[in-house]
């Protein structure tokens, strides 16, 4: 059994997304204590910004004509796809940054997506169980002053569930900047409740993730 975990937070020591992902992972490990966890940390090991362009342009020429950068990028894309395909379940921890998707995650996704096994015609990830943990500094729920400003969660759902066909569960925690930004102090009680709800979801979805993959019998 194996779990692939990806983290995109740039602040690992204080990351709310990592904290929730730890709860998901703990439930997986409790059910599959002998499983392996493959980790990809996009903050400590970011994908080169030029890799996607190199991988795409490298696909237009024969292998013998590719530059070293193109070969490296295509090899990295293959490694990313291998990690996803080879895992029994997937866990993504991706914060909202500046009202949009993390640039680290977007760069990773774009490069992985160049692998033909998981590109628009590929089906290698169809139905694979996955959990997305995402956190937002503010609150962008319907009726809030900044409703519609979250341009990350919808995109993440689209590419993970609709494009890759993952069996996706989503844990979301808004208001992570309450207690950090004094302007949000009035929302302390709401933030506390949202945090508790997200933690409950993380544990629940972690158990569900584990239950979708029963241990193999030798």
Is 217 part of a structural domain of the chain?
no
Rounded mean pLDDT of the chain? 95
- Residue 120 has a pLDDT of 83
Q: Which residues contact 27 (CB under 8 A, 6 or more apart)?
A: 203, 206, 207, 209, 210
User: Confidence band (pLDDT; 50, 70, 90) for 123?
Assistant: confident
Mean pLDDT of 149-159: 97
Is 218 part of a structural domain of the chain?
no
CB 105 within 8 A of CB 94: yes
pLDDT digits (tens, 9 = 90+) for 11-30: 998 999 999 999 999 999 99
The DSSP annotation for the chain comes to -EEEEEE--S-GGG-HHHHHHHHHHHHHHHH-TT-EEEEEETTTSPPPTTHHHHHHHHTTS-GGG--HHHHHHHHHHHHHHHHHHH-SEEEEE--EETTEE-HHHHHHHHHHTTSTTSSTT--TTTT-EEEEEEE-SS---TTSTTTT--BSHHHHHIIIIIIS--EEEEEEE--TTTTTSGGGGGGHHHHHHHHHHHHHHHHHHHHHHHHTSPPPP-
Which is more confidently placed, 201 or 123? 201
Mean pLDDT of 18-45: 97
Is 67 part of a structural domain of the chain?
yes
Sheet containing strand 89-93, strands side by side: 36-41, 2-7, 89-93, 129-135, 167-173
Is 185 part of a structural domain of the chain?
yes
Burial of residue 150, with CB atoms counted within 10 A of its CB: 0-12 exposed, 13-18 middle, 19 or more buried? buried
Task: Report how far residue 135's alpha carbon sits from residue 116's, in angstroms, rounded to the nearest whole number.
Answer: 31
Farthest-apart Cα atoms in the chain, separation: 62
Task: Report how far residue 210's alpha carbon sits from residue 83's, in angstroms, rounded to the nearest whole number.
Answer: 18
Is 115 part of a structural domain of the chain?
yes
Mean pLDDT of 59-73: 96
Mean pLDDT of 78-104: 97
- Residue 177 has a pLDDT of 95
Mean pLDDT of 71-92: 98
User: Confidence band (pLDDT; 50, 70, 90) for 216?
Assistant: very low
Is 65 part of a structural domain of the chain?
yes
What's the total number of domains in the chain? Answer: 1
- Residue 218 has a pLDDT of 37
CA 183 vs CA 173, 174, 194: distances in Å = 18, 15, 18
Mean pLDDT of 207-213: 91
Is the pLDDT confidence value at 85 over 70? yes
Range of 123's domain?
2-211
At 91, which CATH number?
3.40.50.360
Which is more confidently placed, 213 or 147? 147
pTM here is: 0.94
Mean pLDDT of 181-210: 96
- Which tokens is 165 given? 């066909």
Is the pLDDT confidence value at 214 over 80? no
Is 216 part of a structural domain of the chain?
no
């Amino acid at each position: 059994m194996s779990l692939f975990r990806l983290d995109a937070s740039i602040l690992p020591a204080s990351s709310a997304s990592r904290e929730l992902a730890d709860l998901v992972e703990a439930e997986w490990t409790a059910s599959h204590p002998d499983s392996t966890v493959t980790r990809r940390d996009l903050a400590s090991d970011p994908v080169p910004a030029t890799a996607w362009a190199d991988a795409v342009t490298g696909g237009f020429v024969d292998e013998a004509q590719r530059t070293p950068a193109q070969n490296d990028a295509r090899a990295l894309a293959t490694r990313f796809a291998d990690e996803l395909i080879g895992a029994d379940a997937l866990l993504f921890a991706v914060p909202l940054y500046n009202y949009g998707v993390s640039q680290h995650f977007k760069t990773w996704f774009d490069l992985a997506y160049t692998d033909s096994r998981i590109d628009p015609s590929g089906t290698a990830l169809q139905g694979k169980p996955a959990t997305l943990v995402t956190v937002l500094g503010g609150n962008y729920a319907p009726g809030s002053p900044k409703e519609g400003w979250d341009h990350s969660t919808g995109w993440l759902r689209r590419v993970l569930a609709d494009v890759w066909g993952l069996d996706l569960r989503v844990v979301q925690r808004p208001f992570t900047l309450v207690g950090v930004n004094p302007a949000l102090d009035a929302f302390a009680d709401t933030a506390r409740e949202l945090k508790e709800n997200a933690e409950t979801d993380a544990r629940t979805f972690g158990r569900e993730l584990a239950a979708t993959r029963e241990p193999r019998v030798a």
